[in-house]
Amino acid sequence: MDIIGNLAFGFGVALSFENLLFALIGALIGTAIGVLPGIGPVATISLLLPITFGQPATTAIIMLAGIYYGAQYGGSTTSILLNLPGEISSVVTTLEGYKMARNGRAGAALAISALGSFFAGSVATLVVAGSGPLLTQVALSFGPADYFSLMLLGLIISAVLAQGSVVKAIAMVGLGVALGLVGTDVQTGQQRFTFGIPELSDGVSFVALAMGLFGIAEIILNLERPEARSVLKTKVGSLWLTREEWKRATPSVLRGTALGSVLGILPGGGASLSAFGAYMLERKVSKGRHLFGTGAIEGVAGPEAANNAAAQTSFIPLLTLGIPSNAVMALMVGALIIQGIQPGPRMVEAQPDLFWGLIASMWIGNAMLLVINLPMIGMWVKLLQVPYKFLYPAILVFCAIGSYSTNNNVFDVYSTAIFAVVGYMFSKLKLEPAPLLIGFVLGPMMEEHLRRAMLLSRGDPMVFLERPISATMLAIGAIALAAMLMPNLRKGKEAAMAG
């Protein structure tokens, strides 16, 4: 079957009533959490993992994917109208978007944000559809040593690209790998790091870890901050762009789409890195660069296109290699494993309905988001009037029910609470939890491939250097790590992350 035939099959799957309904639910939830400051897609997806248990795998992943790219759309609304980024990748949009709103061009900023996001999302989905099967064929030629080195490279790059200290990020990756190895050894049947606690014999609960570190810890941190709400004083105005604005915004959307499509694939990349990168690119190359700081439309068009393109292409390493490129993708891996599906190169053949159904649902989801966001702007702004004091207790109750329902075990609720306290402490110590989650997911897979490689090579560690693919991956990882430990490059990265 060719790509067109596969996409037709995918649309057949995605257009079923159940999958359409859950794509819409995902898009609506994503937009809502994009609008609400402090509740990002990682926290939301971690909180909603228990809901996916009762759903077919394809339906569950379609909904979670809708939340992820829906948050990129929703975050721009409050960034432009209220100077209040609802999502990390939308921080850049506030720089020019809010100034456009104050200049009476809020409608134009919202329109180019939504249209640029739709275009970038559609193009990036084509990239996923085209490159997915090709990469899968390449991945099938990988041996255990190649997979181990690829996963190690993914962990190194996720640590290198994490915010803050590289040493702290590497420590978090190591802690994540260690937590992933808790439980019963598959080969020997021996229990490891369980400390005599029977409930840990199956390993640390992925749902408890994700919910605690990201969901509840984020709520505790938000309760510390004063509840600052701005009232919308500027009128949205016309959503139509002038001919001059179209001329200036179109090249920015194209550049943002290209940059986001590439950066989304990188481990540790994703939407926020792409948005920052696109903004810096537009400041240097766009025709309206002299207008930056006063409300340049290029500063909205480029980053918004980039973060949506990256949100879609970050699925490529997940679907083809089974390797998460960021924290959200690590949650997706967890959701698939919970459903009994091992993501990787054989998924295209073993679960074609999931692979092609998800890709087709991205187009449908992007079209839904265009309709949800532009005509319903007033409704999303009103959502900000919901007091957090009502919102957070409801989320906490939902968390407790969700973590209990996964195994009908109170131990999981206690685990969630412990990880919430740990996540809060991580935040205070400026330790980013995303590398820990990626390490937790990849750790057991790395161990399995390491053991296979050593078994096939009769215990010869040189196998990792003798295979060209493996040696290349290790060399790239070593260069990336060495480069980030250099003072000048480290300062450059910190400046870029600070925006």
Rg (CA), the chain: 22
pLDDT in the model for residue 1: 52
- Ranges of the chain whose pLDDT falls below 50: 231, 497, 499
Structural domain for 310, as ranges: 2-498
Half-sphere exposure for 429 (CA within 13 Å, toward CB): 13
pLDDT in the model for residue 231: 46
3 state DSSP class of 292:
coil
Element (H, E) at 206: helix 206-210
């089974």: which residue's tokens?
A: 322
**Residue from 28, 32, 9 nearest 365 by CA:** 28
Q: What is the pLDDT of residues 140-197, one digit of tens each?
A: 788 889 889 988 988 888 887 777 788 888 899 999 999 999 988 877 778 888 888 8
pLDDT in the model for residue 47: 79
Q: At what angle do helices 91-102 and 106-139 cross, to 10 degrees?
A: 160
The total domain count for the chain is: 1
């660069």: which residue's tokens?
A: 289
Helix intervals (H) in 287-382: 298-313, 315-321, 327-338, 347-350, 352-373, 377-382
């996923």: which residue's tokens?
A: 128
What is the rounded CA–CA span in Å between residue 490 and residue 59?
A: 42
The pTM for the full model equals 0.79
pLDDT in the model for residue 240: 78
pLDDT in the model for residue 172: 92
pLDDT in the model for residue 352: 87
Encoded tokens for 316:
């490529």
Q: DSSP character for 242?
A: P
Distances (CA, A) of 201 to 89, 194, 421: 38, 6, 23
Cα 411 versus chain centre, distance = 28
